[in-house]
Amino acid sequence: MNIESILEGWLLNVVFIFLISFIGIFLGLLYKGFDRKISAMMQSRIGPPIIQPFRDVRKLLTKETIVPENAIEWIFNGAPIIALIAPLVALMYLPIGPFSPLLEGYGDLILVLYLLAIPAIAMAVGGFSSSSPYATVGAQREVVLMMSYELPLAISAITVAWKMNEIVGPETNPFSLQVISSNPIWGHVGLIGGLGIALIVFTLFAVLPGELSKEPFGQAKAKTEIADGVFVEYTGRNLGLFYIANTVQMIVLASLIITLFFPYQLSNLLERWIILQGPILPIVEMGVWALLVDVVFYLFKLLLIIYFGVSLVRVAFARFQIDKASYFYWVPISIIGLLGLLFVVVGATV
């Protein structure tokens, strides 16, 4: 392999990195608009237009960025950048619809979980570095919440990996996202195991609003209590970067749930239907149309997960106190996750 081909390969990868990053940011802001619009409709409000998040980000990125006098400037300015980079990197390891991940084979479920923890750490570090007492309280709450939901998240990952190890054998990495998405877990469990997987799905849906700091788990940025908490001193570009990071993280989490439990492609189902019913809808015979169907189906799955895991929960529940939020993840949700793991193990022996 000569130098020119190596350079061409690197250049192509860089182009794909920027393309996937743009898609992640665009989808994040778009679904943030859907989330706000759906929440408003459930509360009998008109709500902002779907494109409002794009307007908010444009406004924030053009406003002045102010650094508090006593803040540690390089940490204060670096935290939102790290918070955005981490979910964008995680997105490179996840399939987007029918497309394989760009960094396929270079990372697995454990790496993605570590990357998903970075935005919360960056928020906390940024809050501590701002020298504001309100931000310090918010940062402490963020750390407590992160330590709480990491346990059920780890239980969910272990359950999926254990089942994948049974399906594909010990010679294959059971934490590989490609292995997991290529072997839909529902087809390898019985009734008891299926109940366990359903409990694990419920556990991940419960973790979703906590990871995103959405109600009822918005204790770290409670406006009525601690004046927006970790973000009280953030303005302009830095606040805009945190805003974008949160929307991209939402897409990454929803895509991770799709990869683990709902990796099905609509074109495959249509292909089976066409074989049985005849070429009434010859979509699969046209490769581009099949690709388009799968992309639309992926976007639809994203919308469903965000609706049930974020919008519906945010409207249905008021914000918990931080001790109750921590208890919620440490006790009932962790117990549900452990029961799911137990059912999966028992189902494999029946």
Averaged over 213-231, what is the pLDDT?
A: 76
Of 59, 1, 23, 4, nearest in space to 295 by CA: 23
The percent of residues above 70 in pLDDT, for the chain, comes to 91
pLDDT at residue number 281: 47
pLDDT at residue number 283: 45
Q: What is this structure's pTM?
A: 0.89
pLDDT at residue number 16: 84
Q: What is the DSSP letter of 262?
A: -
Is residue 112 within 8 Å of 177, Cβ to Cβ? yes
Averaged over 7-29, what is the pLDDT?
A: 84
DSSP-assigned beta bridge partners for residue 99 = 96
pLDDT at residue number 8: 59
Higher pLDDT, 291 or 239: 239
Whole-number CA gyration radius for the chain: 21
Distance CA 113, CA 109 (A): 6
As a whole number, the mean pLDDT across the chain is 84
pLDDT at residue number 280: 44
Tell whether the model's pLDDT for residue 5 goes beyond 70: no
pLDDT at residue number 87: 93
Give the chain's count of helices (H) and strands (E): 14, 0
pLDDT at residue number 55: 93
DSSP-assigned beta bridge partners for residue 96 = 99
pLDDT tens-digit series, residues 45-92: 888 899 999 999 999 989 888 888 888 888 888 999 999 999 999 999
